[in-house]
Homo-oligomer: A and B are copies of this chain.
């Protein structure tokens, strides 16, 4: 059965409408560059993944602009905050502060290491917003500890809290259940690594492993023509998806 969470339903619809399973990881550090990138890649993506806390000149106006772009290009906004604290604290971090993430992010994510209280804390805010939560069940970085029983626990908690949890950050499909999407980071046509232990896989490798959404960062925003790169990643991802 499909996931009834509003963000999960919107994501499924946008994927089909735009024939895209591409998320861009917009890891840029100033507002103008971020906005420019979204204008370049907006047609090709179903998800804009942000790290709002790396923007050195953030103001609430940036959120207004991103929400306008969201309407214009039809994508969801995934704030990659990787919440990682106890329930009482993540509630404050998600709903408050300068960023007020709950007011604009359709999708957020959380580590499972703090225990299920992190999901319950975020849900106290997220349920009023129709937001969807991804659990970090696996990571793309070398030597990471999101493996084995850790990953299995994330899957079990997703089942338990499936009103809110719409899927996983993972390198492959982790459970055969249409309620959950798998979004895979570290995607690059050139599979290699960076000097801080990020490890890349290609769109085809990810999709063949059962991933639903490919997350591309430096392969797009670091390209000489981000618009063209986004088109190419969208085609590669969607093509691989449809030839399964």
Interfacial residues, chain A to chain B (CB-CB below 8 A): 27, 29, 51, 53-56, 58, 80, 82, 84-89, 91-93, 96-99, 111-118, 120-121, 136, 139-146, 150, 153, 194, 196-198
Contact = CB atoms under 8 A, between A and B. Distances in A.
A85 to B, nearest CB: 5
Contact of A197 (B111, B116, B139, B194): B116
A153 B136 CA distance: 19
Contact of A99 (B53, B82, B112): B53
A197 B89 CA distance: 11
A167 B82 CA distance: 23
Contacts of A118: 141
A223 B51 CA distance: 36
Nearest to A145: B113
A92 B197 CA distance: 15
A184 to B, nearest CB: 14
A216 to B, nearest CB: 14
A153 to B, nearest CB: 6
Contacts of A84: 82, 84, 111
Contact of A89 (B27, B92, B97): B27
20 contacts: A51-B89, A53-B53, A53-B97, A54-B89, A56-B96, A56-B97, A58-B97, A80-B85, A84-B111, A86-B196, A87-B196, A87-B197, A88-B196, A88-B198, A114-B139, A114-B144, A115-B139, A115-B142, A116-B142, A121-B196
A58 B97 CA distance: 7
